């Protein structure tokens, strides 16, 4: 079930044939402009940009309070996109820049450049 409120999209999803499911929350933060919602959709108009913050949590049980916890965790975020991106990019850089890269023109096994 998904619900659209100004600034928020929440979704509680329960597996049909077993316990559990997942909850998802998206916080919609426009820079300028305005948000309108009718409960089943949302529209952002006249914004310079829109920042979307999302959290997903997989459930082993059908915990109805989980959506509230996810929403509270996003409500407390007051950083800008650039402030959020910097530590995220640094962490990804550590993970993806491990190991030796093969330079263009290098032979397959030794790393020596072809002449």
- Per-residue confidence (pLDDT) for residue 15, from 0 to 100: 84
Of 29-33, 60-64, 68-72, 87-91, the least confident: 60-64
pTM above 0.75?
no
pLDDT reading at 75 higher than 80: yes
**Looking at the domain assignment, is residue 113 inside a domain?**
no
**Looking at the domain assignment, is residue 52 inside a domain?**
yes
**Looking at the domain assignment, is residue 25 inside a domain?**
yes
**Looking at the domain assignment, is residue 103 inside a domain?**
no
Q: What is the DSSP letter of 18?
A: S
Can you say whether residue 19 is alpha, beta or left, with left for phi > 0 and alpha for psi between -120 and 50 degrees?
beta
DSSP secondary structure letters along 63-105? -TTHHHHHHHHHHT----HHHHHHHHHHHHHHHHS-SPPPPTT
**Looking at the domain assignment, is residue 104 inside a domain?**
no
Give the total number of structural domains in the chain: 1
Which domain, by its residues, includes 19? 2-96
pLDDT reading at 110 higher than 70: no
**Looking at the domain assignment, is residue 7 inside a domain?**
yes
**Looking at the domain assignment, is residue 51 inside a domain?**
yes
- Per-residue confidence (pLDDT) for residue 102, from 0 to 100: 60
What is the pLDDT averaged over residues 14-26? 88
**Looking at the domain assignment, is residue 13 inside a domain?**
yes
């Amino acid at each position: 079930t998904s619900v659209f409120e100004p600034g928020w999209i929440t979704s509680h999803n329960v597996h049909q044939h077993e316990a559990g499911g997942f909850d998802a929350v998206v916080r919609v933060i426009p820079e300028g402009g305005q948000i309108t919602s009718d409960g089943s959709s949302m529209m952002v108009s006249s914004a310079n940009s829109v920042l979307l913050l999302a959290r997903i949590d997989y459930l082993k049980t059908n915990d109805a309070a989980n959506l509230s916890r996810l929403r509270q965790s996003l409500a407390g975020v007051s950083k800008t996109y650039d402030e959020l991106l910097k530590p995220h990019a640094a962490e990804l850089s550590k993970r993806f820049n491990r190991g030796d890269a093969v330079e263009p023109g290098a032979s397959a096994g030794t790393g020596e450049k072809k002449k």
